[in-house]
Amino acid sequence: MKQPLKVLLLFAVALSFLVPRGNVSAGDYVSDAIEALKTSNVYVAPGATGTEYDTQSQLGKFLTPGDNIVLVMLPPEALAGTDLYTIARSISEGLGNQKTVGLAVGREVIGYSVLLPEGVAWDKMQRASSVSNDPVTALITFTQNVHSWLSENPLPTPTPVPTAVPTPRPPVELPKAEDISWPVWLVMAVFVLGTVIWLSVYVKKNAKRVLRRQSFAPLTSKIDVISEKIHDIADGKVRKELQRAIQLAYELVDILANSQTHLGYAEEKFPVLLANMDRQIMALKKHESGRRHMSADLLSDVKGVLLTYDDLFIALQKNDPDAVELLTSVYDSSNTMVSTLGYLDDDK
């Protein structure tokens, strides 16, 4: 009787190791990648698309000693509840923004870097993706593209600051209070008062900056929501352009939040454009899912509007009223036409 019982217990223990332990969240994938990249420039997560047993070593062959490039491959599940740009930015921040990130999640790829000029890493990955059939090849080509760019545009090397060696000095005997004349006391009092006033002004300004940053938090949340809606857009061209627009939108929020003054036209128009962008995306998704059909001409107009957002956000970053007014007038005319036909209702 005891023997069968032992067999059943052993079977139960073995079965417990075979039962899945639940889905791994996107945050877990990012944390694992950051931890691995502290000791290596390449991280290939289990289940990443198009990988083999030696993919990590193959990718490492294209990196040079002292490279600031890291290559990351994650499975498609890592995109659950987030997007490529957010994952790449989180990995970069986890590494102190000291690395250029080449990221592949499933078959989607993106380049991100704070070290390189704005848009360079993204452009080099897009070029690599256009000539590659799989994410591994895209990451290799991206690495070569960045190396080529750096050879033509070397980054400035910081000049080391020599350490000053203090010269020993004899101790200074401080004057006694009764030895200090009243004019000196007056100067000291003025200095202390000025310091107090300066600190008060500084604290108030800093408080205003904090409040201003907090006021833009809802816009960041709105961009997060829009970013999630982009993933399942069937039209690949529109999806990629909107992902680029989302990246520019995040950058624009940072510019607005960190500005010490109101940026006028750009600050007023940006929330309106985000709201219209959200409604246009929902209209396209309804058409693609068959819930609300559009004519060919109307569909072309909607897609044309969606493809202008990256240009609009770039113009807003420059805070150029003439350019923004022109682009916005073109957008608003198309938006009004589509709204009139009832394709952009507020139901989600």
Q: What is the Cα–Cα distance from 109 to 134, expressed in whole angstroms?
A: 10
User: Mean per-residue pLDDT for 79-105?
Assistant: 94
Which two tokens mark 253?
């929020």
Output the pLDDT for position 304: 86
The predicted structure's pLDDT at residue 336: 52
Per-residue model confidence as pLDDT tens digits over 236-270: 998 999 999 899 889 888 888 887 676 666 777 77
**Overall average pLDDT of the 70-91 stretch:** 94
- Of the chain, the percentage scoring pLDDT greater than 90 comes to 34
Domain 26-152 belongs to what topology? Diaminopimelate Epimerase; Chain A, domain 1 (3.10.310)
**pLDDT tens across 183-205, in order?**
777 787 888 888 878 776 666 66
pLDDT score at 83: 93
User: How much is the average pLDDT of 71-80?
Assistant: 94
Which one, of 69, 66, 68, 78, lies nearest residue 104 by Cα? 78
CA 270, 275, 279, 285 torsion-angle sign:
positive
Give the Cα separation of 240 and 249 in Å (integer): 14
Greater pLDDT, 220 or 262 = 220
Question: What is the band of 323 on the pLDDT scale with cuts at 50, 70, 90?
Answer: low
Burial class of residue 263 in the structure, from the number of CB atoms within 10 Å of its CB (0-12 exposed, 13-18 middle, 19+ buried): middle
Question: 41-50, 80-89, 120-129, 308-317: which has the minimum mean pLDDT?
Answer: 308-317
230: pLDDT strictly greater than 80: yes
Stretch 81-99: mean pLDDT: 93
Decide if 87 contacts 30 (C-beta within 8 A). Answer: yes
φ/ψ of 308, rounded to 5, equals -95, -5
Under 8 Å between Cβ of 220 and 253: yes
Show me where the domains of the chain are located. 26-152, 182-213, 216-340
pLDDT at 33 over 60: yes
Q: How far apart are CA 298 and CA 2, in angstroms?
A: 76
| Interval 8-18 mean pLDDT | 44
**What is the pLDDT at residue 162?**
63
pTM of the model: 0.42
Q: Element (H or E) spanning 71, and its range? A: strand 69-74
What span, in angstroms and rounded, lies between the C-alpha atoms of 145 and 32? 27
